[in-house]
Structure 1
């Protein structure tokens, strides 16, 4: 609970070897909850895409944030033991009786969970938190039961459009978002001496290849467009765009403040000015911005023995 503070925003404790740039305060929590609703609507009111057992016994949510996904899953499966882990205790106290939260760092190997423990392991929006994605997926494979499933959902940081209202090199704050984000991440990683945490997993095909190297089979990859404004004529896509923009506006300062100040050397005023341009462009009815979101799920083979698990 000994949080760090930067320009009024709180960040996880400096204790241990964790160094993460996203805040853990109420404003960022609101953004996470808005994002949860956005993704739920985007994926047709489904909490997950993997074809898991209709009666899972034990499920893990890695990097659970505010715990909203874990709470909804525990409500939907009251006979299932659900565990949510995160580096900050930002989850609510009133939760379903079959759910518990634990403070844990998923980047430390090996995990404290025993091999072959979970029927389903869920990980979402961990971009910028993981340096070694292969190690993460190897631990998910190890902790998953034979026949069990793992699922990862990550966004692209590149904002684009199909009608060129947002395009590379157009000088807009929207098109600059990914490039500034990536530059700040690299420079901060270099200054810290630990190297950057990859942000462009979709562009590098990190999730699919990582699942394959970990040993998962029956892997499915689905990539969808997530609008960041309510410009679509389809009512459901308009709702996604409305909540997607709300989540972006609520969370954008938290996404960039730490990295832009520590990595790019920007002042708080420079960050505020850039974000005002970004907010104005998100509300420009002439622009149709979206990002790509990728969901990958895979099954652990039934014939894997405990002795074979890495």
Structure 2
């Protein structure tokens, strides 16, 4: 996979927001140019998931003894370890996220310089869509996907296997089962001890194997004064960070991964920062397309994070959560607000 798969010149400058530290701003990057045509087509209703809803694999019934709350379905295995739902609406959101990341990475599933990885581990595999795609791309590889929820499809390529496992426990892979590539994305709020995670990844990689992390910074920013008009968006993300810390799982840590990999012993550590606009306001056509899909993903994400983190951890009622969701969604959909999120793509090699 070419090292220059990501165009670093397309990453933006993130202005700091008050209240919560969002990581050092990538000051060498240029601001996103706004499309002055306010009447451009911003109809996102045609956005459909390219894959249908997935079905659960046939496994032990206790793992499928799901919890239901606020009209959403949550995982059963290690109940409460993960705060977001696993129902069909959430699966659609995760598949939409996959599409956004493919657009952001110019169609690449990963950008570490590996030509033919033969053992691949996908941690927090979700619907399994990334694992399935990479199994198709490398048919000689053995691909393993793990998650707390058994929501992956039953019909998959013969070279991919899914397991219900907790990545925060000790990994039990044998020494001769080491991996060429370990991949994870959007795991902020899921991992409590990231240093342990990096260490276990290092241990279970082959020599010259790569760990690649795709993590959006969990803080919406703007290059102009848009955030000053987004009172409820600021409240939403401030409360999410507060809840995550109370839950002992940081969600606003993407900027720290590069140093973490260096401290663990990885070499050739690289970090790319890719801007993900919220909506079609950028002039750049590629960013405009990314923004349309990312906005829909974020709107769906506001609901699940508000109900999961602010509701469950901070004790807000469903009515309070729904009011915040509605107000925040209104701000995100306002085309006058030029908002975006920085996606950090960090990878390192085990020497």
Match of 1:46 among 83, 108, 115: 108
CA, structure 1 residues 133+148, in 2 after alignment: closer, same or farther (shift >3 Å)? same
- The CA distance in 1 between the partners of 2:218 and 2:301, in whole Å, is 14
Residue 174 (structure 1) aligned with residue 224 (structure 2)? no
Corresponding position of 1:58? 119
TM-score, scaled relative to structure 1: 0.89
Residue 306 of structure 1 is matched in structure 2 by none
Cα deviation for residue 230 of structure 1 reads: 1.1
Which of 232, 257, 263 is residue 313 of structure 2 equivalent to? 263
Query: Contact 1:127–1:199 at 8 Å: present in 2 too?
Result: yes
2-structure distance, mates of 1:102, 1:277 = 38
Superposition deviation, residue 171 in structure 1: 5.4
Change (3 A) 1:199 1:291: same
Q: Report the Cα distance in structure 1 between the residues aligned to 2:328 and 2:243, rounded to whole angstroms.
A: 17
- Structure 2 residue matching 1:232: 3-state secondary structure: coil
The correspondence for 2:350, drawn from 297, 300, 305, is 300
Query: Are 2:278 and 1:217 aligned?
Result: no
Matches within 5 A, 1:131-170: 131-167=192-228, 170=229
Check whether the contact 1:6–1:258 (CA below 8 A) recurs between aligned residues: no
State the shift of 1:17 in Å.
7.2
Residue 176 of structure 1: CA displacement? 2.2
- Does residue 25 (structure 1) correspond to residue 84 (structure 2)? The answer is no
CA distance in 2: counterparts of 1:96 and 1:171, whole angstroms: 45
Residue number in structure 1 paired with 2:52:
none
Long gaps (5+) in structure 1: 190-195, 302-310
RMSD over aligned CA atoms reads: 1.5
Alignment of 1:63-74 (within 5 A): 63-74=124-135
Q: Secondary structure at the match of 1:129?
A: coil
Q: C-alpha separation between the residues in 2 aligned to 1:18 and 1:137?
A: 23
- 1:149–1:300 CA contact under 8 A, matched in 2: yes
**Structure 1 match to 2:185:** 124
The whole-number CA distance in structure 1 between the counterparts of 2:279 and 2:116 is 37
Q: 1:36 aligns with which of 94, 98, 110?
A: 98
TM-score when normalising by structure 2: 0.79
Distance 2:140 2:123 in 1: 20
Give the Cα–Cα distance (whole angstroms) in 1 for the partners of residues 175 and 266 of structure 2.
15
Deviation at 1:81, TM superposition (A): 0.8
Deviation at 1:92, TM superposition (A): 1.0
Q: Please name the residue that 1:11 is paired with.
A: 74
User: Which deviations, in whole Å up to 9, do the C-alpha atoms of 1:89-116 show, x marking residues without a partner?
Assistant: 011112111111111100002x011236
Alignment-derived partner of residue 230 in structure 1: 280
Match of 1:2 in 2: 65
Aligned length: 287
